[in-house]
């Protein structure tokens, strides 16, 4: 059993291929000291290559996750170094359909959350940050074990932040352990993070057994915004204590334009990153959601109804598509599935929400993705 921080830490497999194909699932037993010194990979630092070599079937390339509504960035690979370029700036983004549509936010490459960065375990990454904001900024890599000089904490590990108009290179440094991570500003985070300066960073294995390959692998970054008016600059949480627009990947459910289509039998993986200022309780309708990874480390699989994520948390959940229909995935805080306390088409939840649509199910009513049908509930008039 590997020992980290003075304690033996159990390792668990991430996923075993075909659902209900129990016996063929290798490597699923926690390694114990009873078995002698463990041969499980060391997952405690980013210095070495490390990923879960489990599952069954031939070795294949993993599915590259997609991030609905947000670009994916693979960077430029030279030698073993993958280089990403991120420009921080202020811009207007479509965040909701009602009672307003747009907000002025801060983000990277014209999107908040910024593009999802993809790297492979064993590579080094370099991130070039170009600051077009009206004030200084820095970048921190959350959950990775970068050297202190690349930690990006303004005033501490990076005493002088990137000035407005300046550029800074983070890395190259190695990304060793497979998982879901993030990058975000670490200059005056109570303002810059709340305005949208964050994004997901996924470290994939170079190959994996066929059985652990997800048919659908989606990243969902949770944020909350408080624009004072149509197109207005979002206010940080600490000023208002309110987040009237709760979003996934920068958009409320009604503004997401389309459901995520899946097929019966699919292994569906959802990588949650809570970039907001509040705890959320993510609930999938019609299926159990199985927590398989928390904060960049595999955990013993646990079936859940809701998955609680605090600010800064990552959680990867999976489900097997076995109950056809149109199913919500949303935060179970009631007012996080409303836009400024208003519901959508026929009282439907909006806010921090996405819909999984089986290809055999009726289409989600198009009225849901429009503001045209909204009417204030009787009781609120």
Is the Cβ of residue 95 or residue 275 nearer to a copy of itself in the bound state? 275
Among the listed residues 52, 244, 262, 354, the single contact to a copy of itself using CB under 8 A: 244
Please give the residues from 333 up to 372 whose contact with a copy of itself meets the rule CB under 8 A: 333-335, 337-338, 340-341, 343-349, 355, 361, 364-365, 367-368
CA-to-CA distance for 10 and 31, rounded, in angstroms? 6
Q: How many residues bind a copy of itself (CB under 8 A)?
A: 145
Residue 3 pairs in a beta bridge with 8
What is the rounded CA–CA span in Å between residue 212 and residue 21? Answer: 12
Nearest-angstrom CA–CA distance, 281 and 271: 14
Tell me whether residue 68 or residue 236 sits nearer to a copy of itself (CB atom).
236
CA distances from 143 to 27, 108, 342 (A): 25, 19, 36
Residue reference for tokens 């699919």: 266
Please tell me whether residue 176 binds a copy of itself under the rule CB under 8 A: no
Interface positions, 40-99, toward a copy of itself (CB under 8 A): 42-45
**CB-wise, 58 or 380, nearer to a copy of itself?**
380
Select the residue interacting with a copy of itself from 59, 61, 76, 149 (CB under 8 A).
149
Name residues contacting a copy of itself, limited to 279-298 (CB under 8 A).
279-281, 283, 285-290, 292, 294-297
Q: Which helix (H) or strand (E) holds 195?
A: helix 189-195
* Site for a copy of itself, residues 191 to 230, rule: CB under 8 A: 191, 193-194, 211-212, 214
- Considering only CA atoms, which of 51, 48, 58, 45 is closest in space to residue 17? 58
The DSSP code for 311 is T
**In whole angstroms, how close is the CB of 284 to a copy of itself at the nearest point?**
10
Q: Which two tokens stand for residue 109?
A: 């490459």
d(CA 247, CA 350): 9
CB of 295 to a copy of itself, least distance (A): 4
Applying CB under 8 A, does 155 fall inside the site for a copy of itself? yes
Among 110, 134, 165, 231, binds a copy of itself (CB under 8 A): 134
**What are the Cα distances from residue 121, in Å, to 43, 62, 179, 341, 353?**
11, 12, 9, 43, 31
Q: Does the protein bind a copy of itself through residue 22 (CB under 8 A)?
A: yes
Please pick, from the candidates 84, 187, 225, 245, the single residue that binds a copy of itself as defined by CB under 8 A.
Answer: 187
């Amino acid at each position: 059993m590997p020992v980290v921080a003075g304690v033996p830490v159990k390792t668990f497999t991430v996923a075993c291929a075909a659902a209900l194909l129990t016996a063929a699932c290798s490597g699923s037993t926690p390694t114990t000291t009873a078995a002698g010194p463990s041969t499980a990979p060391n997952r405690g630092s980013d210095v070495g290559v490390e990923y879960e070599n489990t599952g069954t079937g031939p070795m294949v390339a993993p599915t590259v996750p997609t991030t609905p509504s947000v670009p994916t960035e693979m960077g430029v690979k030279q030698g073993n170094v993958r280089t990403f370029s991120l420009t921080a700036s202020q811009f207007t983004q479509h965040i909701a359909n009602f009672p307003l549509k747009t907000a002025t936010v801060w983000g990277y490459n014209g999107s908040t959350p910024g593009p999802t960065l993809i790297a492979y375990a064993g590579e080094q990454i370099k991130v070039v940050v170009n600051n077009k904001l009206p004030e200084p900024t820095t970048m921190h890599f959350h959950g990775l074990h970068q050297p202190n000089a690349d930690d990006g904490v303004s005033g501490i590990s990076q005493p002088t932040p990137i000035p407005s108009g300046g550029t800074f290179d983070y890395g190259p440094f190695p990304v060793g352990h497979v998982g879901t991570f993030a990058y975000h500003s670490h200059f005056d985070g109570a303002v810059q993070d709340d305005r949208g300066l964050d994004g997901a960073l996924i470290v994939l294995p170079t190959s994996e057994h066929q059985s652990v390959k997800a048919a659908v692998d989606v990243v969902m970054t949770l944020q909350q915004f408080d624009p004072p008016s149509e197109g207005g600059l979002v206010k940080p949480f600490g000023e208002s204590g309110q987040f009237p627009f709760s979003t996934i990947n920068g958009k409320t459910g009604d503004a997401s334009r389309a459901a995520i289509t899946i097929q019966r039998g699919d292994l569906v993986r959802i990588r949650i990153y809570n970039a907001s200022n509040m705890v959320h309780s993510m609930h999938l309708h019609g299926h159990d959601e199985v927590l398989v990874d928390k904060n960049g480390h595999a955990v013993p699989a646990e079936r859940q109804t809701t998955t609680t994520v605090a600010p800064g948390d990552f959680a990867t959940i999976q489900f097997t598509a076995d109950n056809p229909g149109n199913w919500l995935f949303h935060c179970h805080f009631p007012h996080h599935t409303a836009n400024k306390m208003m519901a959508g088409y026929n009282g439907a939840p909006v806010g921090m929400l996405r819909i999984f649509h089986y290809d055999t199910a009726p289409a989600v009513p198009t009225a849901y993705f429009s503001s045209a049908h909204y009417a204030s509930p009787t009781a609120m008039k």
